[in-house]
Amino acid sequence: METTTTFDTVMSGILDNGKQPKDSDALQAQADDLREQLKAAMVAGSIEKIVDTQNKLKQIPVIQRAFELKELRENLISIDAQFKQLVDDETALLSAVAEQKKLIVPVLDEAQRIGNEIARLEFALSLVYSNRQGLHEERRMKKAAISDRMNAITKEVQQNGKIK
């Protein structure tokens, strides 16, 4: 903060004394005017006016640099404000993401529960299919046994005329 105070103090001493122009264009116009005054003072032979005008002209580059520094400082402040805005945006977005995650966690838990229930039901269904396949096999074997028994009885009746 001390740097800002020093910078502002120096800049106000250079630029805000009431006699200085408010921007670079006005400063350039003032420099042009001072050069004309210097020519006029030389023609008139006024040493005091020449020295005074030369001193003022010597201050022009310092004031021009002060304007440049002031503009750079304003740009820096603007960039700092943009950084602050980005930090604020980032904080808001992170908060929004966290809120959405809070909303989705119960949904994901419910989806997991439903997925587990589906897996349990599919396993039970596979047992039913397996039992059905076993029953089809058993029925086929029983039908084959009945057919074999019927064939044996029919053969015995044809040979002996009676069933043993």
The amino acid sitting at 76 is L
Q: Which helix (H) or strand (E) holds 13?
A: helix 2-15
Structure tokens at 107: 């949904």
Look at residues 89, 112, 93, 91 and name the one whose alpha carbon lies nearest to residue 101: 93
DSSP SS3 for 20: coil
**154, exposed or middle or buried, with CB in 10 Å at 0-12, 13-18, 19+?**
exposed
Per-residue pLDDT of the chain (164 residues), as tens digits, is 455 556 556 555 555 555 667 777 888 899 999 999 989 999 998 899 999 999 999 999 999 999 899 999 999 999 999 999 999 999 999 999 999 999 999 999 999 999 999 999 999 999 999 999 999 999 999 999 999 999 988 988 888 876 66
Cα 60 → chain centroid: 47
